[in-house]
């Protein structure tokens, strides 16, 4: 385009040279001016093209950024996290068996054994507290009254397939031995303490969570009529540590009479799952000088 303009100017100068004789290299000066102007015009066009390309690219980047911003604006910054269902909210058939299998590993267990009277939802003070211990073939119960040991009861194999029950009354200085047909059974110690585990799929109520012994626990209530020949008003409750899934408290609630609103509750808590008890712990010991009770 620059060459075309320069040639056209040259033709005009040549045609006008007859009327206006060239003076002092006018033609060359005009050509130089035209060339400079053409160069400037070329530079200007290149600059415009460059700027146009840069503006286009800036506009494209801005448009892409706008799309990204729009996408992020539409995408929630804190998407909702689906709630995790607690293990006890699932079907008991999925986890009760796992708990029972884990408890089979324990050879012996000890716990506190407390008997209380509940009247109108209020527990009456009691001074009678026991310690209950069980192994795979025996159990032992130590009863305290006001902190003083008053009774120890052993339930041990007799050697002929039956069981001996030996009661030693320290406050009376007496003892008594009774024979029972049958054995203690083949159940694990924990199964004897927590019969309710096998009945969790038939629980009557989920008691929710509460803090017991400094741990968060979840409880279940089961009618005692679902095992043995027990009346429907007998209620059992069992509470599990939500972290370890081990029993923390077991309660057996029994009305004191048809016309009596009071209830008798046996509560087992403060479990020790690895007490390391030896065989001698379950062997009856009768203090010297104690007399035997007959009948």
> What does the pLDDT read at residue 27?
43
pLDDT value, residue 216? 95
Return d(Cα 196, Cα 186) in angstroms, integer. 17
Q: What is the pLDDT of residues 145-176, one digit of tens each?
A: 988 999 999 999 887 778 899 999 999 999 99
Dihedral of CA atoms 197, 200, 202, 207 in degrees, nearest 10, equals 130
Task: Reply yes or no on domain 88-148+185-284 having CATH 1.25.10.10.
Answer: no
pLDDT of res. 219: 93
At 230, give phi and psi (nearest 5°).
Answer: -110, 145
Per-residue pLDDT tens digits for 123-140: 887 768 899 998 888 889
**What's residue 87's pLDDT?**
83
How high is the pLDDT of residue 77? 55
Q: What is the pLDDT of residue 153?
A: 94
pLDDT for 89: 82
pLDDT at 168: 97
Q: Long-range contacts for 194-197 (Cβ within 8 Å, ≥24 apart)?
A: 194/103, 194/238, 194/247, 194/250, 195/227, 195/236, 196/220, 196/222, 196/236, 196/237, 196/238, 196/250, 197/96, 197/99, 197/100, 197/103, 197/238, 197/247
Per-residue pLDDT of the chain (295 residues; tens, 9 = 90+): 444 444 444 443 344 344 334 444 444 543 454 454 444 444 444 434 433 444 434 444 444 444 444 433 444 555 555 555 788 888 877 788 788 777 777 888 899 999 889 888 788 877 688 999 988 888 899 999 988 999 999 999 887 778 899 999 999 999 999 988 765 555 556 666 667 777 888 889 999 999 999 999 999 999 999 888 888 889 999 999 999 888 999 999 999 877 778 899 999 999 998 778 887 899 999 999 999 998 6
pLDDT (tens digit, 9 = 90+) per residue, 56-70?
344 444 444 444 444
């Amino acid at each position: 385009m620059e060459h075309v303009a320069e040639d056209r100017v040259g033709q005009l100068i040549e045609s006008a040279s007859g009327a206006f004789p060239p003076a002092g290299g006018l033609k060359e000066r005009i050509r130089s001016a035209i060339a400079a102007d053409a160069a400037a015009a070329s530079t200007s066009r290149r600059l415009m093209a460059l700027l146009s390309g840069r503006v286009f690219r800036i506009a494209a980047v801005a448009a892409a950024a706008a799309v990204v911003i729009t996408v992020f604006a539409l995408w929630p910054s804190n998407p909702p996290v689906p709630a995790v269902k607690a293990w006890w909210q699932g079907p008991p058939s999925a986890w009760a068996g796992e708990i029972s299998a884990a408890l089979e590993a324990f050879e012996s267990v000890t716990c506190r054994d407390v008997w209380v009277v509940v009247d109108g939802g209020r527990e009456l003070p009691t001074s009678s507290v026991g310690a209950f211990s069980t192994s795979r073939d025996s159990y032992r119960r130590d009863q305290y009254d006001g902190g003083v040991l008053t009774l120890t009861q052993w339930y041990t194999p007799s050697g002929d397939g039956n069981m001996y029950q030996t009661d030693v009354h320290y406050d009376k200085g007496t003892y008594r031995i009774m024979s029972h047909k049958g054995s203690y059974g083949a159940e694990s110690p924990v199964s004897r303490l927590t019969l309710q585990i096998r009945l969790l799929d038939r629980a009557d109520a989920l008691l929710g969570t509460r803090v017991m012994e400094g741990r968060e626990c979840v409880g279940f209530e089961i009618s005692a009529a679902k095992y043995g020949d027990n009346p429907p008003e007998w209620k059992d409750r069992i509470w599990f540590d939500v972290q370890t899934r081990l029993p923390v408290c077991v309660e057996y609630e029994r009305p004191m009479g048809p016309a009596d609103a009071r209830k008798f509750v046996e509560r087992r808590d403060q479990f020790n799952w690895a007490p390391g008890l030896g065989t001698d712990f379950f062997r009856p010991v009768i203090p010297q000088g104690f007399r035997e009770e007959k009948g």
